[in-house]
Amino acid sequence: MAGELEPGQRLVNRQLATEFGISVIPLREAISRLASEGLIQQIPGSGSFVRSTDEREMEELITFRACIESGAAAEASANISSRQLDSLRQNIEEWESLAKKIAERSDQQATKSQIRRWMEIEEAFHTAIVEASRNRFLAGASRDHQVLARFFESESQRTGLSAKDAAKTSEGHRRLLEVIAVGDPDAAREEMARHLAGER
């Protein structure tokens, strides 16, 4: 997720085990788990490799997220609590603060740590909306693909995060939250779909 291992990079078990100070057995288990989550590609006879992003698959995942999260936004608009709204507002405030810090940089580009924090807030924001829907099936479907979605998002940020894009994204999140807070399910569904379409 942090980009320390490049897409397509081969994972050498003994080397990684030494680096982490563990035996090869738990490392193999970890790699198997990451493979099951779609983050690592295991090729028989060749080894394990950091997953490379696929443009078509990314488009499919965004379409899937639009279906799931648009429904979640609609239900959240009817079920969200004041505490959950406050938590989402805190996410927005942190985004806006981060966007300002990026804009203050001479190159107008986010640092790696700023991008990492941006992605953490992104995940927390969207997870909170799904949870606010109070729909176990939507939450389950979203959770099953959340790790892979975060991986694709982190890949899309490898080229950087500009101050302009940061400001645009934080504005989009604020607009989405305002629609959810109003309590109009149809408007919330449409705004979430529009928001996710902007990530394409």
Helices (H), the chain: 13-20, 24-36, 55-79, 82-104, 112-132, 136-156, 163-182, 185-197
**What are the Cα distances from residue 119, in Å, to 40, 44, 146?**
20, 33, 12
Is residue 164 included in any domain, yes or no? yes
Half-sphere exposure of 29 (CA within 13 A, CB side): 4
Query: pTM of the full predicted structure?
Result: 0.73
Is residue 45 included in any domain, yes or no? yes
Distance CA 191, CA 173 (A): 10
Mean of pLDDT values over 93-111: 94
My answer on whether 133 and 190 are in the same domain is yes
**What are the Cα distances from residue 163, in Å, to 82, 100, 154, 157, 171?**
31, 8, 17, 13, 12
My answer on whether 72 and 34 are in the same domain is no
Tens-place pLDDT, residues 160-173: 789 999 999 899 99
* Token output for 24: 């090869």
Are 134 and 142 contacting, i.e. CB atoms less than 8 angstroms apart? no
At 130, the pLDDT band (50, 70, 90 cuts) reads very high
Domain count along the chain: 2
What contacts 130, CB < 8 A, 6 or more positions away? 68, 69, 72, 76, 138, 139, 142, 143
CA 179: distance to chain centroid? 21
My answer on whether 92 and 14 are in the same domain is no
Q: Which position has the higher pLDDT, 1 or 14?
A: 14
- How high does pLDDT run on average in the chain? 87
My answer on whether 100 and 115 are in the same domain is yes
Tens-place pLDDT, residues 141-159: 887 777 667 666 666 556 6
My answer on whether 15 and 112 are in the same domain is no
Tens-place pLDDT, residues 56-70: 877 888 888 889 999
Q: Which domain holds residue 45?
A: 10-50
Range scoring the smallest mean pLDDT among 18-32, 35-49, 95-109: 35-49
My answer on whether 75 and 168 are in the same domain is yes
